Structure 1
Amino acid sequence: MNITAVAIVSIVCWAIVELINGPRGKKSTKKDEQRNTDLAQQVLKLQDRIETLEKIVTDEKYDLNRQFNDLKNDRVA
């Protein structure tokens, strides 16, 4: 019984590793390379956007404006 359980667990672990790593010896195609390039460009654009948002949110004026808006909304409500 224990040997059977070990064999099953081993097969499942092997299958998971194969799914994660992909097939061995797989050559990347031009389509894969283009996709990787596109994804890298998207990551760079997102990093730029995050940097901009961080600058806005950490700016003292942003916090002050937010507080004014909160006060204004409290009076209206």
Structure 2
Amino acid sequence: MNLTAIAIIAIICWTIVKLTSKDKKAVKQEPVQDQQKNELQQQIHTMQERIAVLEALVTDEKYALKREFENLSRNRAA
């Protein structure tokens, strides 16, 4: 074998090793990413529930009526 062939084989082997080691790292990181994804989805779900409660409070007729009374009392005071 000449020196060029040895260099080419070494480069090919090095590339194969690097490619396979990246796949192993990606597999190790997937559970962490899945866990983060699940946590974020849970937080979004919780926030959606809280927003729904706040919307119900603000759109309630009693809340609107109370705000109107507060505005009227402020106008009288001024």
* TM-score tier after normalising by the smaller chain length: 0.5 to 0.7
Q: More helix per residue: 1 or 2?
A: 2
Runs of 5+ consecutive residues of structure 2 not aligned to the other structure: 1-25
User: What TM-score do you get using the length of structure 1 for normalisation?
Assistant: 0.57
- Partner Cα distance (2:36, 2:42) in 1: 10
Question: AA paired with 1:66?
Answer: R
Q: 1:76 Cα shift?
A: 2.6
Q: Which of the two has higher C-alpha Rg?
A: 2
Deviations 1:29-55 (A, max 9, x none): 222111101101111111111110121
* Residue in 1 that maps onto 2:59: 58
Tell whether 2:57 aligns with 1:71: no
Percent identical pairs in the alignment equals 40
Question: AA paired with 1:41?
Answer: Q
Question: AA paired with 2:62?
Answer: K
User: What TM-score do you get using the length of structure 2 for normalisation?
Assistant: 0.57
* Residue in 2 that maps onto 1:9: none
Tell whether 2:31 aligns with 1:34: no
Moved over 6 A (4+): none
Count of matched residue positions in the alignment of Structure 1 and Structure 2: 52
* Residue in 2 that maps onto 1:47: 48
Alpha-carbon RMSD: 1.7
Question: AA paired with 1:45?
Answer: T
